[in-house]
Structure 1
Amino acid sequence: MATNITWHAGLTHEERATLRNQKGATLWFTGLSASGKSTIATALEQHLLSLGLHSYRLDGDNIRFGLNKDLGFSEKDRNENIRRIGEVSKLFADSTSIALTSFISPYRADRDSARKLHEEANLPFVEIFVDIPVEVAEQRDPKGLYKKARAGEIKEFTGISAPYEEPLKPEIHIHNDKISVEEAVQQITEYLKEQKIINI
């Protein structure tokens, strides 16, 4: 751990928010593989951008192939993966952007740590549980991962051979086997308006 560093003060979050006329926040999508997290997050990102709100989606494609390409899928590496994502999403939120993170993030303690980072910085953190039965996720299985996990080709696969700890009190609970993507986007947007995270 570096000890010879000093914090350099710059613009405050409030100053940035005033200049950009936008608040920052992190929308943390969690759920099983194939639950629809990234599909909803992508649609929501497009919707927010169409409203003139700066937003950016962080998911396995742009994190696992770059920032976190040195990490595997052991519990320790999963912990570190989520720790880094929590720090990066906090930076986006502090810049007054709306960060949408789409990761299984199976452990409550890791999600709680990401939440605490935001709370300590006085930044909104919205946990969105994209909930579907594992049987439905297996039926969807667009990448064939569940099939490989059942065959023993993938070790430590969440929902099959590794645990998924459901959120106890998510801000938003989406039953994604019962509603459309458009309805999910509307549900999230209405919440953001109610909480005055967005004012459009």
Structure 2
Amino acid sequence: NFAEVYVKCSLDTCMERERDRKAKYAPTGIYKESKKNGATVPGVNVPYEEPLNPDVVVDSERMGVDACAERVVEFIINRYKR
């Protein structure tokens, strides 16, 4: 089974979060690299397309991490409860 979760966030916030991120497991320099010729970074130098009909939307600028996670967990529980 599949469910689409859209984590909504502005480009400015994405760039700020990447700049401040300390986690080593996530890619770094995405937005810095977007300035290079031929780069294809959605929302910067190629169009960003929001999902048309996601199953769950969490607005990570307005909701905290716990609230976002809770909404996703609630969706999973409600969809798959028997």
**TM-score under structure 2 length normalisation:** 0.75
Residue 153 of structure 1 deviates from its aligned partner by 5.8
Residue 181 of structure 1 deviates from its aligned partner by 1.7
Residue in structure 2 matched with residue 49 of structure 1 by the alignment? none
Give the AA of the match of 1:147: K
- Residue 57 of structure 2 aligns to a residue whose secondary structure is strand
Aligned counterpart for 1:133 among listed residues 3, 6, 10: 10
Residue 154 of structure 1 deviates from its aligned partner by 6.3
Describe the shift of the 1:135–1:155 C-alpha distance in structure 2 as closer, same or farther (beyond 3 A): same
Q: 8 Å contact 2:33–2:39 — kept in the other structure?
A: no
Q: 8 Å contact 1:155–1:161 — kept in the other structure?
A: yes
Greater CA radius of gyration, 1 or 2? Answer: 1
Deviations 1:99-143 (A, max 9, x none): xxxxxxxxxxxxxxxxxxxxxxxxx32110011011111111241
**How many pairs align?**
74
Q: Given the alignment of the two structures, is residue 164 of structure 1 paired with residue 48 of structure 2, yes or no?
A: yes
Q: Which runs of 4+ in 1 moved over 3 A?
A: none
- Residue 126 of structure 1 aligns to a residue whose secondary structure is coil
Q: 8 Å contact 1:148–1:154 — kept in the other structure?
A: no
Residue 184 of structure 1 deviates from its aligned partner by 1.2
Give the AA of the match of 2:65: V
Describe the shift of the 1:171–1:130 C-alpha distance in structure 2 as closer, same or farther (beyond 3 A): same
- Residue 187 of structure 1 aligns to a residue whose secondary structure is helix
| Structure 1: gaps of 5 or more residues | 1-123
Q: Which has the higher helix share?
A: 1
- The percentage of aligned residue pairs carrying the same residue is 23
Residue in structure 1 matched with residue 59 of structure 2 by the alignment? 175
| Structure 2: gaps of 5 or more residues | 22-27
Residue 198 of structure 1 deviates from its aligned partner by 4.3
